[in-house]
Amino acid sequence: MKISFIGLGIMGKPMAFNLLKEQSLDVVYNRTSSKTAEFQEAGVDVARSPKEAAEKSDVILTMLADSSDVEEVILGTNGVIEGVKRGSIVIDMSSINPEVSKKIGLPLQEKEVSLLDAPVSGGEKGAIEGTLAIMVGGDEKVLNSVRPILNIVGSSIARVGDLGAGGYAKLANQIMVALHLEAMSEAFLLAKKADLDFNKLYKAIRGGLAGSHVLEQKIDNLIEEDFNPGFKIDLHLKDLNNALKVAESQGIDLPFTKNIQKSMEEMAEQGYGDLDHSSLYKYLTE
Amino acid sequence: MKISFIGLGIMGKPMAFNLLKEQSLDVVYNRTSSKTAEFQEAGVDVARSPKEAAEKSDVILTMLADSSDVEEVILGTNGVIEGVKRGSIVIDMSSINPEVSKKIGLPLQEKEVSLLDAPVSGGEKGAIEGTLAIMVGGDEKVLNSVRPILNIVGSSIARVGDLGAGGYAKLANQIMVALHLEAMSEAFLLAKKADLDFNKLYKAIRGGLAGSHVLEQKIDNLIEEDFNPGFKIDLHLKDLNNALKVAESQGIDLPFTKNIQKSMEEMAEQGYGDLDHSSLYKYLTE
């Protein structure tokens, strides 16, 4: 079973390296070819197009920025669809609009190619350490056949449903994280004005119903007012945009999600885009 | 050291019972006298006023509904202040506006009486089991002298600062809990529309950055659509009202807190007041 990896960005590159270390990488493709040099030196075949990567492999992993990139790489000119062999499996690990995942799945299915949507959480750190949490949508048997590959890049694999379900789970996840960050920001701003010691407050509330992983992982950012990423506002904004697209197409109103999207959009306009998403606190207090 | 307890409501009654069981209760007072019968039968002195309760004790615990009740019981006619002895300690465990706690502290201080504000989290269950988390504001030595008493009603005691700090911590806590509930509600509504299995989604995201105690403790309410309290919307609304009063007096804007207060206010008007606060999900979906 030959494996190709398309998209060697901040997340994709360390994921591909982890596959390489386990002798589970045969072909790479990246739009900016300079990023493929290290892989070439290590003996990995560098494809000149997604089409060529697909021709040369049975499992094609993609890790790209957003829906349009995935659509282009898979369905566009010289895309995966032009080279992919019957029976192959495409695993898209990008965080995109799950409605696009479903759409992309159809022409692949006509070629008897399976698509899994498998977005991750855990950030660059998780990608480097191979500890990503992977949320998968798609056929269970197909997933089971590629579990050994996914186990190299992640430490937990949860199948949440059919194609698109991985993406929906990721969006639900990102809605919660965004609002947890806002919750913490407003609570700690009130505490700051009341001259409370953040560390004491943190210890007083972390064990109770207010406890959260956001509180545990981001309290130091607030205490030290250090908002280096971590996970960038620009990326979180992209996820919230996708969540609102889904909400709109399903005819539901997510009022607080809409508001936090608006906050992050304003932050991006005001130069917060490259800061960690915990900079919601900085934005609120400035 | 004689101990009195004022306010035998849903929270106060089981707390007073726990003190009684440990031979740490001498006097009770409650506005509705019928609630004192069980204590009288057990040999506890029933005072006819907060004044009398204060006269007969060295430590006075209060557990009342809101700021105005505490003000009335402590500073009003026949209030604690009229009977309290120099050197006594008043511990107000109610969840009130911490600015009121500070105000009440001054006339007590003139009488050389110490006030601690010590609101709790953990709800009726925690009160019954003696496992409340207690957030304390006030003098550290004073707190240390009453720790054995507080250890009977709670399982964790965190001093967060001077008088009022307990209340500020409680408000910060309640802001976070309210917004975590909304976060979960919007995320799971999106998931519902996408036909995701709630249990699978829960398992896929609980270990990541979206994980929270709200998610752990309220997921079953969403799955079973059972919104029996728990912690009532009416009570949470009271806390948010206090949080917004504090924010206003400190000149800060807490936009999401304001919105969730508005949601709960509308819910209370529409008959959700006695439901668990996780009914934010029900409100969002109906």
User: Is B13 annotated as catalytic?
Assistant: no
Q: B91 and B219: one domain?
A: no
d(CA B6, CA B172): 26
Q: A145 and A230: one domain?
A: no
- Residue A230's pLDDT is what? 87
The CA-atom distances, in angstroms, between A149 and each of A73, A128, A129 are: 21, 15, 15
- Please, which contacts does A212-215 make with residues 24 or more away whose CB atoms are closer than 8 Å? A212/A180, A212/A184, A212/B176, A212/B180, A212/B211, A212/B212, A212/B213, A212/B214, A213/B208, A213/B209, A213/B210, A213/B211, A213/B212, A214/A177, A214/A180, A214/A181, A214/A184, A214/B209, A214/B212, A215/A180, A215/A184, A215/B176
Return the CATH number at B207.
1.10.1040.10
Q: B122 and B88: one domain?
A: yes
d(CA A205, CA B156): 10
- Residue A90's pLDDT is what? 98
Q: Dump pLDDT digits (tens) for A83-108.
A: 999 999 999 999 999 999 999 999 99
What percent of chain B has pLDDT above 90? 98
> Is A190's CB within 8 Å of B247's CB?
yes
- Residue A91's pLDDT is what? 98
Q: Dump pLDDT digits (tens) for A36-65.
A: 999 999 999 999 999 999 999 999 999 999
What's phi and psi for B115, nearest 5 deg?
-120, 135
- Residue B162 is classified by DSSP as S
d(CA A121, CA A136): 12
d(CA A117, CA B22): 58
What average pLDDT is seen over chain B? 97
* Contact assessment for residue A146 and residue B223, using Cβ atoms and an 8 Å cutoff: no
Question: What tokens appear for A37 in the block?
Answer: 């040099």
Q: A156 and A233: one domain?
A: no
Q: A73 and A32: one domain?
A: yes
Q: A153 and A51: one domain?
A: yes
Q: Dump pLDDT digits (tens) for B174-193.
A: 999 999 999 999 999 999 99
Q: Domain range spanning residue A181?
A: 168-285
Q: Nearest-CA neighbor of B240 among B228, B250, B248?
A: B248
Q: Which residues of A touch B190 (CB under 8 A)?
A: 168, 171-172, 175, 243, 246-247, 250, 252, 254
Which of B109, B138, B162 delimits the end of a domain? B162
Q: In the structure, what pLDDT confidence band is assigned to residue B257 with cuts at 50, 70 and 90? A: very high
Q: B143 and B216: one domain?
A: no
Q: B10 and B151: one domain?
A: yes
Q: A158 and A32: one domain?
A: yes
What percent of chain B has pLDDT above 70? 100
**Residue B197 clears pLDDT 90, i.e. is over it:** yes
Is A246 touching B (CB cutoff 8 A)? yes
Angle at A259 between CA A255 and CA A265, to 5 degrees: 145
**Residue A123 clears pLDDT 90, i.e. is over it:** no
Contacts with B, A 126-155, CB within 8 Å: 133, 135
Return the CATH number at A144.
3.40.50.720
Q: Which residues of B touch A266 (CB under 8 A)?
A: none
- Residue A179's pLDDT is what? 98
**Helix or strand holding residue A133 (H, E):** strand A132-137
Of A161, A175, A203, Cβ closest to residue B187: A175
Q: Give the chain B residue whose CA is nearest to the CA of A210.
A: B177
Q: B95 and B7: one domain?
A: yes
Q: A91 and A176: one domain?
A: no
Q: B222 and B187: one domain?
A: yes
Q: In the structure, what pLDDT confidence band is assigned to residue B230 with cuts at 50, 70 and 90? A: confident
Q: In the structure, what pLDDT confidence band is assigned to residue A110 with cuts at 50, 70 and 90? A: very high
Instruction: Single out the catalytic residue among B13, B51, B170, B238.
Output: B170
Q: Nearest-CA neighbor of A81 among A116, A102, A110, A47?
A: A110
Angle at B83 between CA B77 and CA B87, to 5 degrees: 135
- Residue A17's pLDDT is what? 98
d(CA A188, CA B216): 23
- Residue A219's pLDDT is what? 98
Instruction: Provide ipTM, 2 decimals.
Output: 0.96
- The total number of structural domains in chain B stands at 2
Which of A125, A146, A162 delimits the end of a domain? A162
What's phi and psi for B49, nearest 5 deg?
-160, 160
The CA-atom distances, in angstroms, between A78 and each of A75, A154, B21 are: 8, 29, 78
> Is A210's CB within 8 Å of B173's CB?
yes
Q: Dump pLDDT digits (tens) for B109-138.
A: 999 999 999 999 988 889 999 999 999 999
Question: What tokens appear for B192 in the block?
Answer: 């519902």
> Is B200's CB within 8 Å of A250's CB?
no
**Residue A206 clears pLDDT 90, i.e. is over it:** yes
What percent of chain A has pLDDT above 90? 98
Which of B162, B193, B219 delimits the end of a domain? B162
